[in-house]
Amino acid sequence: MFSENFIDILHDIKTPLNIIIGAIQLTEHNNDPLSEVIMMQAKHFQAIKHNSYRLLHLVNCITDLIKTEDEHILFNPRYCNIVPIVEELVQTSAPYAHVKGIHLEFESSEKEIFALIDVEKFERIILNLLSNAFKFTPSGGKVTVKVSCLDNKAYISVKDTGIGIPDKMQDLIFERFSHVGSPLSASSEGIGIGLSIAKYFTDLHKGKISLLSKEGEGSEFIIEIPINNKAHMNNITNTTI
């Protein structure tokens, strides 16, 4: 009961946030005098936008965390081409990367890679990895998202040129409320649940998430999910986990 009530509270928080973000988006595409006044104060305007998205992402992560704690996750897989899904998420994230001074790239070895996914949760995996990359990559850095396939498996890589993860932290990075623990990350947003949720949702897809990182040089998170696996497709139906 507490969890359900708390999720309702988070939903109530998201409503005004979405209104604020919607108003910002309308203002950006509006040419009336009001928008000109706002754009004259671009630094403050971008700060409002940036922090609204930060807060919305945090609310979404907390909601996911509560659901995973209660183990009441509805898993609705369907057969989808993951390439345009990932590409669209990268394009949607481009303005945020631009504000932070980060160069964002998308690459794919194929135009079509079909896999059985729950689209909402698959998108959350990618967005959480992107959020993590942006969080720890300084201005002037680069984030590359790559989609490929090999041996009936799809691979989605999110690679950054950020601060990297110390060896001693790499075994703990997918635990809830874990942080990189670098002085450079002390001012970074987040409470350390995005990667644990990404792993949880990857596990739901019968996939794997792995990390390649060197402190001071950056990190690469790689998602691996099965494709063209008829047995896997037959075993997964609409399920409440």
Query: Are residues 119 and 199 both part of a single domain?
Result: yes
Q: Please count the structural domains in the chain.
A: 2
Cβ within 8 Å of residue 206, ≥6 positions away: 225, 226, 232, 236
Q: Model pTM?
A: 0.70
Of the residues 31, 46, 72, the one at which a domain ends: 72
Asked whether residue 240 is domain-assigned, the answer is: no
Query: Are residues 89 and 68 both part of a single domain?
Result: no
Domain that holds residue 39: 2-72
pLDDT digits 0-9 by tens, 228-238? 644 444 444 44
Cβ within 8 Å of residue 36, ≥6 positions away: none
Question: pLDDT value at position 147?
Answer: 97
pLDDT digits 0-9 by tens, 171-202? 778 776 555 544 434 344 444 577 888 998 99
Query: Are residues 22 and 52 both part of a single domain?
Result: yes
Cβ within 8 Å of residue 225, ≥6 positions away: 115, 117, 153, 154, 156, 202, 205, 206, 207
Question: pLDDT value at position 240?
Answer: 43
Query: Are residues 68 and 83 both part of a single domain?
Result: no
Asked whether residue 241 is domain-assigned, the answer is: no
Q: How far is CA 183 from CA 52, 136, 176, 188, 191, in A?
A: 25, 11, 20, 10, 15
Question: pLDDT value at position 45?
Answer: 67
The ranges of the chain with pLDDT < 50 are 1-2, 5, 181-191, 229-241
Of the residues 37, 57, 72, the one at which a domain ends: 72
Query: Within a 10 A sphere around the Cβ of 52, how many other Cβ atoms?
Result: 18
